[in-house]
Amino acid sequence: MNETITISLEKICVSTNFPYGEAWIPDEDKNLLQLSSSYYINSGFGNKDLEQFWVCSQDFILSRGEGLPGRVWLSKQPEWIIDVTIESEGYFLRNQIAKAFGVKSGFSVPVITQNQVLIVLAFFTSQTHSKDTKIIEIATNKAESLGQLLFNL
């Protein structure tokens, strides 16, 4: 399953020109989100700091509605943040880590099967990027495909 998620993250990153993608998985009790070991960083963008962003993010465990992935988990809707570094830590919990490692814009989409969120995917870039509905549409379509694939495993 991890390889399938990593491949999907890579496809979305390449399609959207966002160099970093991560996956958040609900625990068995469906009460908390934990960062998966599945992630993708496009090294062609020269973003060594994104690896450190992922490493520092591993200590975060999110509740439903908490942080970007938690809000997407709760709402079952994509969300975009133009500049995570100007958001409060209450809104974007990894604000200080983002500042330290040059992360700016981010968005997140749910992977839903039978009205249940299986995974929350999040993507970041070191550039400030206005909300782009085409990028969200690409990511949502690929997330739907991932959900169908995982459901059939």
pLDDT band with cut points at 50, 70 and 90 for residue 11: very high
Going through 5-114 in order, the beta strands assigned E by DSSP cover: 20-26, 32-41, 61-63, 79-81, 105-113
Burial of 28 (0-12, 13-18, 19+ CB in 10 A): exposed
pTM of the model: 0.94
Q: What is the distance between the alpha carbons of residues 85 and 97, in angstroms, rounded to a whole number?
A: 9
pLDDT in tens, 31-66: 899 999 999 998 765 566 888 899 999 999 999 999
